[in-house]
Chains A and B, each alone.
Chain A
Amino acid sequence: MSALSGAASVVGIGATEFSKDSGRSELQLAAEAVRAALDDAGLRPSDVDGLVTFSMDANAEIAVARELGVPRLRFFGQIGYGGGAACATVGHAAMAVATGVADVVVCYRAFNERSGHRFGRVAAGATAAPTSGGIDNGWQYPVGLSTPAATVAMFAQRYLHEFGATSEDFGRVAVAMRRHAATNPRAWFHGRPITLAEHQASRWIVEPLHLLDCCQESDGAVAVVVTSTARARDLPHPPAVITAAAQGSGADQFTMTSYYRDDLTGLPELGLVARQLWAQAGIGPADVQVGMLYDHFTPFVLVQLEELGFCGRGEARHFLADGGIELDGALPVNPHGGQLGEAYIHGMNGLAEGVRQIRGSAVNQVADVRNVVVTAGTGVPTSGLVLAVG
Chain B
Amino acid sequence: MSAGVAPVADAVQDPAERIREAARRLVEAGDCAPRPARDPVNEPMINNWTEALGDANPAYPGIAPPAMVQVWTMGGLHGQRADDDPLGAMTRVLDEAGYTSVVATDCAQTYARALRPGERLAVRARLTDVAGPKRTALGEGWFVTTVSTWTVDGEPVAEMMFRILKFRPPPPPPPPRQVPRPQVNRDTAYFWEGTAVGELRIQKCGECGALRHPPGPMCPRCGATRPGYVVASGRGEVYSFVVHHHPPLPGREVPFVVALVELEEGVRVLGELRGADPGAVRIGAPVEVDFDRIDDELVLPAWRPR
A and B in direct contact, judged by CB atoms within 8 A: yes
Question: Chain A interface (Cβ within 8 Å of chain B)?
Answer: 120-122, 124, 126-130, 134-147, 150, 153-155, 157-158, 161, 203-208, 252, 257, 259-260, 264
Q: Can you name 30 A-B residue pairings with CB atoms under 8 Å?
A: A121-B247, A127-B180, A127-B183, A138-B182, A138-B184, A138-B188, A139-B182, A141-B180, A142-B182, A143-B271, A143-B302, A144-B252, A145-B270, A150-B242, A150-B258, A154-B241, A154-B260, A157-B240, A158-B239, A158-B240, A204-B245, A206-B242, A207-B245, A207-B255, A207-B278, A208-B242, A257-B270, A259-B260, A259-B268, A259-B270
Asked if A135 contacts B187 (CB within 8 A), the reply is yes
CA distance A146 to B250 in the complex (A): 10
Asked if B240 contacts A260 (CB within 8 A), the reply is no
Q: Is B113 positioned at the interface, with any CB of A under 8 Å from its CB?
A: no
Asked if B283 contacts A158 (CB within 8 A), the reply is yes
Q: A142-B300, A144-B256 are in contact. Are A155 and B250 (CB under 8 A)?
A: no
A137 to chain B, nearest CB (A): 8
Asked if A205 contacts B246 (CB within 8 A), the reply is yes
A159 to chain B, nearest CB (A): 9
Asked if B258 contacts A143 (CB within 8 A), the reply is yes
- Residues of A contacting B304 with CB < 8 Å? none
| Minimal Cβ-Cβ distance residue in B for A138 | B182
CA distance A208 to B252 in the complex (A): 19
Asked if A142 contacts B239 (CB within 8 A), the reply is no
Asked if B180 contacts A139 (CB within 8 A), the reply is no
| Minimal Cβ-Cβ distance residue in A for B298 | A142
Asked if A153 contacts B242 (CB within 8 A), the reply is yes
- Residues of B contacting A122 with CB < 8 Å? 180, 247, 249-250
Asked if A146 contacts B180 (CB within 8 A), the reply is yes
- Residues of A contacting B252 with CB < 8 Å? 144
- Residues of A contacting B184 with CB < 8 Å? 138
A266 to chain B, nearest CB (A): 14
- Please name 16 further chain A to chain B contacts, defined as beta carbons within 8 Å, in addition to the given A143-B270, A155-B240, A161-B240, sorted by A numbering: A121-B247, A137-B182, A140-B270, A141-B179, A142-B180, A143-B272, A144-B256, A146-B249, A150-B258, A157-B242, A158-B240, A158-B283, A204-B243, A207-B243, A207-B278, A208-B242
A23 to chain B, nearest CB (A): 24
| Minimal Cβ-Cβ distance residue in B for A251 | B220
The contact size tier of chain B is 35 or more
Among B180, B252, B292, max chain A CB count under 10 A is at B180
- Residues of A contacting B245 with CB < 8 Å? 203-207
Asked if B250 contacts A157 (CB within 8 A), the reply is no
CA distance A206 to B268 in the complex (A): 21
A384 to chain B, nearest CB (A): 26
Asked if B249 contacts A144 (CB within 8 A), the reply is yes
Asked if A147 contacts B247 (CB within 8 A), the reply is yes
CA distance A159 to B218 in the complex (A): 31
Among A136, A144, A204, A252, max chain B CB count under 10 A is at A144
- B 180-225 contacts with A by CB, 8 A: 180-185, 187-188, 213-214, 220
Q: A122-B249, A129-B183, A135-B188 are in contact. Are A144 and B244 (CB under 8 A)?
A: yes
- Residues of A contacting B234 with CB < 8 Å? none
- Residues of A contacting B179 with CB < 8 Å? 141-142, 144
- Residues of B contacting A142 with CB < 8 Å? 179-182, 294, 298, 300
CA distance A207 to B255 in the complex (A): 10
CA distance A115 to B300 in the complex (A): 33
Asked if B183 contacts A128 (CB within 8 A), the reply is yes
- B 261-281 contacts with A by CB, 8 A: 267-268, 270-272, 278
Q: A139-B214, A144-B258, A157-B283 are in contact. Are A150 and B183 (CB under 8 A)?
A: no
- Residues of A contacting B256 with CB < 8 Å? 144
- Residues of A contacting B267 with CB < 8 Å? 260
Asked if A139 contacts B270 (CB within 8 A), the reply is yes
- Residues of A contacting B227 with CB < 8 Å? none
A62 to chain B, nearest CB (A): 30
| Minimal Cβ-Cβ distance residue in B for A147 | B247
- B 10-43 contacts with A by CB, 8 A: none
CA distance A384 to B122 in the complex (A): 96
Asked if A130 contacts B283 (CB within 8 A), the reply is no
| Minimal Cβ-Cβ distance residue in B for A145 | B258
CA distance A143 to B184 in the complex (A): 15
Q: Is B301 positioned at the interface, with any CB of A under 8 Å from its CB?
A: yes
- Residues of B contacting A141 with CB < 8 Å? 179-180, 182
